[in-house]
Amino acid sequence: MTLPPQSPPDGAVPHVRVDITEELDLAGLSEVALVLDRVLALAPREVTIDLADCRHVDAAAIALLFDVHRRLARRHALLTLRNPHPRIRRILDTARLGDTVAIVDTPRPDGPTARGRARVTATPPAWEGS
């Protein structure tokens, strides 16, 4: 039985992009997992993880990506992996992640992008404090 897609909750973030700029492996996974937990708390309709600058993933990272996909799918939201290095794409293909998650190669968007470590914080709207 296939259910029709549900509308995301009001106030949901339409799209969040996360750029992975270092190795995605067990050593740094807790930090990335924390950021992704905070991203998912925003209830996005779509999350894109850009892997263009990532040169290594391990089994723990692939498990994390599967988990993020599963959590998004429960809310009828999408995970897209973008621009993996050819070596990383082979690893993702071997893990069959592409069977359930879109893996795309796209040009990078024009304009400035933020570099460095990610931090996601929940800030209440200004009108809530009045």
pTM for the structure as a whole = 0.74
Q: Can you give the residue range of the structural domain that contains 58?
A: 25-84+97-106
Sequence-distant contacts of 27-33: CB under 8 A, at least 24 apart: 29/60, 29/61, 29/64, 31/117, 32/61, 32/64, 33/64
Q: Is 3 within the bounds of a domain?
A: no
Determine the residue type at 23: E
The predicted pLDDT at position 130 comes to 47
Tokens of 32: 């990335």
Q: Is 15 within the bounds of a domain?
A: no
Q: What is the pLDDT along the chain (130 residues), one digit of tens a residue?
A: 444 455 545 556 899 999 999 999 999 899 999 999 999 999 999 999 999 999 999 999 999 999 999 999 999 999 999 999 999 999 999 999 999 999 999 876 655 454 445 544 444 444 445 4
The predicted pLDDT at position 56 comes to 93
Whichever domain contains 68, its CATH number is: 3.30.750.24
Sheet of 15-19, strands arranged across: 15-19, 46-50, 78-82, 102-104
Q: Is 89 within the bounds of a domain?
A: no
Q: Is 123 within the bounds of a domain?
A: no
The predicted pLDDT at position 1 comes to 46
d(CA 70, CA 123) in angstroms, rounded, equals 26
Q: Is 72 within the bounds of a domain?
A: yes
Structural domain count, the chain: 1
Q: Is 43 within the bounds of a domain?
A: yes
Q: Which residues contact 54 (CB under 8 A, 6 or more apart)?
A: 20, 21, 22, 23, 24, 84, 85, 88
Q: Check: CB of residue 34 under 8 Å from CB of residue 3.
A: no
Q: Is 115 within the bounds of a domain?
A: no
